[in-house]
Amino acid sequence: MKICFIAPANNYHTQKWCHWFRNRGHQVDVISFTEGEIEGCTVHYINSGAGVRGSDAQKLKYLFQARKVHEIVNEIKPDVINAHYATSYGTVAALAGLPPYYLSVWGSDVYDFPKKSILHRMMLQFSLNRAAYLLSTSKAMAKEASQYTRKPFTITPFGVDCELFSPDKTPGKRYDAVNTKNGRDYVIGTVKSLSDKYGIATLLRATALLKKQHPEVPVQLRIAGKGPQENEYKALAKELGIENITNWMGFIPQEQAALAWASMDCGILPSESESESFGVSAVEAQACCTPVIISDIPGLMEATVPGKTSVVVSRKHPQELAQAMFEMYMDADKRHEFGQAGRKFVCETYELNQCFEKIEEVYLKNAKKQKGVKTPV
């Protein structure tokens, strides 16, 4: 098949989709308003003048590129068109007069964007209703998006490479009991963008409480990621007196992320915004046999099995998180059981090839129905 994604070429998730379908033998084109190269794929970059981190007002410039998108699609003549992110690329697709296309919702486009104003809400409704097929990475996000359309969603979760994300990265690493007798560090942490959306400040405060209330716990905190609030968080760690036990790892590629998760005794994902529509990081951690403590965000809970692979705490609640971290420290058997159950759950439910094969099956089924449909001029 010829597949055309209308999505940001510099985004990791876009690249993940492209690589899988390219390796599957499909021709892949990407129409993008951000510059980027994707090996084996053709990127059609359109300079909209909005910038990578443009405001909503600046990104309105995207809408003036609908004609250009139409022309590129006419030139490619793809069998499948899939726009990603409902309220930018999806809106352009809606205006471009394309043949029946897919729209994948991502998170903030559904949870945050429509709450800004009536105009924002109407734009989301317009985008959703113009698409022929709607895709969502989680049931939670599909439920949220269903406030704005009556069309059904196909659930297409982000899969994880269970060979890359594996406990084999650090064989024998965690399953000895962690306690004050053996003196080994209790390693906790996260791999996320450094933003309040992901509860980084809550994690820092919870770690400080754990250290204050249980000084015997040899806790070490690892935080991998970059983001606009990095300096603010580092200052907070210093203020809380935990800078000497906090390792700021910076941005790390997927291979190092797998190693980071595999080396932790417990992954901490205290997200505070429901726009985290699917817990990709939670899935990656579980694939590494790492038990996780998560906040009560629907997308995170859907990505785990609360009570069996994850412990759920209230969002924005450092004391509750600190207590959960301590209880997990005290119970090595629970960590082991949760870790084993987590990997089994992920490999059965969110294995990369299984997830993309489901999308491919949907594409193929509908492509047959649409065979012979021409792009309107």
Instruction: Give 363-372 pLDDT, tens digit per residue.
Output: 998 887 766 5
Neighbour-count burial of 260, counting CB atoms closer than 10 A to its CB (0-12 exposed, 13-18 middle, 19+ buried): buried
Q: What is the CATH number of the domain that holds 30?
A: 3.40.50.2000
Residues 16 and 126 in one domain: yes
193 and 340 fall within a common domain: yes
pLDDT at position 141 is 93
Please give the pLDDT value at position 375: 40
> What's this model's pTM, rounded to 2 decimal places?
0.85
Query: Does one domain contain both 186 and 334?
Result: yes
DSSP class of residue 227?
-
302 domain residue, yes or no: yes
pLDDT at site 174: 46
Mark whether 137 and 281 lie in a shared domain: no
Predicted pLDDT of residue 372: 52
277-302: b (≥16 Cβ within 10 Å) or e: bbbbbbbbbbbbbbbbbbbebbbbbb
What six digits make up the tokens of 276? 């985290």
Closest CA to 263 of 190, 193, 367, 156: 190
303 neighbors 185 (Cβ within 8 angstroms)? no
Based on the fold, state whether residues 41 and 107 are members of the same structural domain: yes
Q: Are residues 174 and 310 in the same domain?
A: yes
With a CB cutoff of 8 Å and minimum separation 6, the contacts of 310 are: 282, 286, 291, 292, 293, 294, 300, 301, 304, 338, 342
Residues 94 and 215 in one domain: no
CA 204 to chain centre: 22
Could you say which DSSP state residue 22 is in? H
**Total domain count for the chain?**
2
The verdict on 75 and 193 lying in the same domain is no
Same domain as 101, residue 9: yes
Residue 307: inside a domain, yes or no?
yes
Q: Residue 153's pLDDT is what?
A: 96
User: What are the tokens at 247?
Assistant: 């390792």
φ, ψ dihedrals at 46, nearest 5°: -115, 120
Q: Let me know whether 177 and 324 are in one domain.
A: yes
Q: Which domain holds residue 124?
A: 2-158+352-370
Q: Residues 190, 322: one domain?
A: yes
Residues of the chain predicted below pLDDT 50: 52, 171-182, 373-377
The answer to the question of residue 377 being in a domain is no
CB atoms within 10 A of CB 218: 17
Same-domain pairing of 114 and 255: no
Residue 376 lies in a domain: no
Q: Does 375 fall in a domain?
A: no
Tens of pLDDT, residue by residue over 73-90, are 999 999 999 999 998 899
CA-based angle 52:257:216, to the nearest 5? 120
pLDDT at 182: 45
